Amino acid sequence: MRHMSMVAILLVTALAAPAAAQEVPTANGRVRGIAEEGVEAFKGLPFAAPPVGEFRWRPPQSVAPWQGVREATRFGHDCMRPAADPAFEPSEDCLYLNVWRPAGGPSQKRPVIVWIHGGAFVSGSNVPAEASGAAFARDGVVFVAPNYRLGRFGFFAHPALSAERPDEPKGNYGYLDQIAALQWVKRNIAAFGGDPDNVTIMGASAGGESVLALAASPLARGLFQRVIAQSGGGRTQLLGAQMLSADTEAHPSAEKIGLAFAASVGVDGSDAAALEKLRALPPEKVAGNLTALGMLFLGERSRFSGPIVDGRIVTAQPAEALKRAPPLPMIVGADEADLGLNRAPSKDAAFTAFGPLSTTARAAYDPAGTATLDDVNGMIGRDRTMIEPARLVARTIAANGRPAFLFRFSYVAEAQRGKPIKGAEHSSEVVYAFDRLGALLGDKVAATDAAVASTMHRYWVNFARTGDPNGVDLPHWSTVTKADDPLLDFQADGRVVTKADPWKARLDVTEAYAEAAK
């Protein structure tokens, strides 16, 4: 026959179409997702109204309810930024989240993980293939990944904004988006089979900094019960230490930075008329060149505050805020070759910068005198930015009487070895925690790679279930105590071992320097 029968056409069409998931009632209307990768996914669910027009630089607003069933089969827009994956068009209309749950619908209350993506607060997305929640859902977790406003859309202050609606929190709109997503989870996740009283927040890089900020924020209290912070610093905000309106010795206020941006796009003044002009700017103008490279080389850092100590959402720098916050069980750690910029022109200069601790620093970082300048700068930078702050956070949680589990990720996949890298780089652990190595390496996943990913993923799942990452057939992970900081190391050789930190002398001198500099 030259033509297929109608029955055959319908059969082929049915086989080609993605299988629909069950309908789920939410507070705003019913949604229907898709079945894929052995789980059910609900994509592009709005958790706040589009933050556009008069809602630019306002806290997230309520979602308008809809009639009928909303198809949740496509991801929403990425949040606005200068450069984006062409597969996902960026937009100011971006406050959507994705939910993955086990197949078969809600049969019991399951643990929930809410993932906050990284990207230096200027990039990133809730949709990359390596960060799909499918593996977590297959292991019985309801997994949620929201977007949040980035760059100057998410973190911006201006005197006219401070004067407008003074009852509203100001500046940290990206954090308010994250809180709004957690409030959505509290209201809706039971309908997806999740337990709203067993929520773990998890993030890496800027996401790691975010979950530490949320753990200490009065506005996020009661929305989650556990925290996983990967490479999120922990002493000070990684992009700076701006106060909302008060200049400090080290940093101009966030409002002053906002005025500098406004002047750069031809908007002068600090009154309501200036704010109206700023809200009328095309999104591309607000985004500007605000990428990591733009901040380093194109002068954008002087026109972008990053997260702000505003007194309501963020009450203090992380080290101080976490001391005063209700303590929560936490996994915290960093990568062996994590981020950190130290640009001393010589080794002597690098150690002299430690002041009275210079001799101790030299002995800790270069005991044999054979380290290169690059090595010394790298070690000092990473320790100050990520490694020692992770230990500080773990010690703070332990001192407040809650379980703290400290890790370091040192493993590099076999296919990636031999490249000009020195150990596991910043955020390289993310794909292992998600057990999504195939999305990164394709068919080049070695058996040891897969074993490391499976082990890390199971720790994370166990922690989300019970607050304790330990489980059957896993190397025991000891908690940090007031007297000891045991470290779980995902080692370069593929073994996972709890041990005393071999970098203790380095971290001790870094800690002493940071405390003396307060």
CA distance 147 to 117: 8
Among 205, 305, 410, 428, the active-site one is 205
CA distance 157 to 272: 14
Residue 473 φ/ψ region, left for φ over 0, alpha for ψ in the -120 to 50 degree band, beta for the rest = left
Q: 206-216 and 173-188 helices cross at what angle (nearest 10)?
A: 70
Is 54 an annotated catalytic residue? no
Is 426 an annotated catalytic residue? yes
Burial (CB < 10 A; 0-12, 13-18, 19+), residue 234, is buried
Among 426, 427, 429, 511, the active-site one is 426
CA distance 443 to 121: 32
Is 241 within 8 Å of 231 (Cβ atoms)?
no
Is 205 an annotated catalytic residue? yes
Beta-bridge partners for 26: 29
Joined together, the tokens standing for residue 332 give 């915290």
Burial (CB < 10 A; 0-12, 13-18, 19+), residue 68, is exposed
CA distance 109 to 483: 37
Burial 356-380 (b: 16+ CB within 10 A, else e): ebbebbbebbbeeeebeeeebbbbb
Which amino acid would we find at residue 287?
A
Among 40, 255, 336, 429, the active-site one is 336
CA distance 430 to 128: 11
Secondary structure letter of residue 80 according to DSSP: P
Residues 6+ apart with CB under 8 A from 299: none
3-state DSSP of 296-364: HHCCHHHHCCCCCECCCCCCCCHHHHHHHCCCCCEEEEEECECCCCCCCCCHHHHHHCCHHHHHHHHHH
Of residues 182, 229, 180, 181, the one with CA closest to residue 209:
229
Strands 29-36 and 39-46 turn out to be antiparallel
Is 364 within 8 Å of 509 (Cβ atoms)?
yes
Is 161 within 8 Å of 143 (Cβ atoms)?
no
Task: List residues with catalytic annotation.
Answer: 205, 336, 426
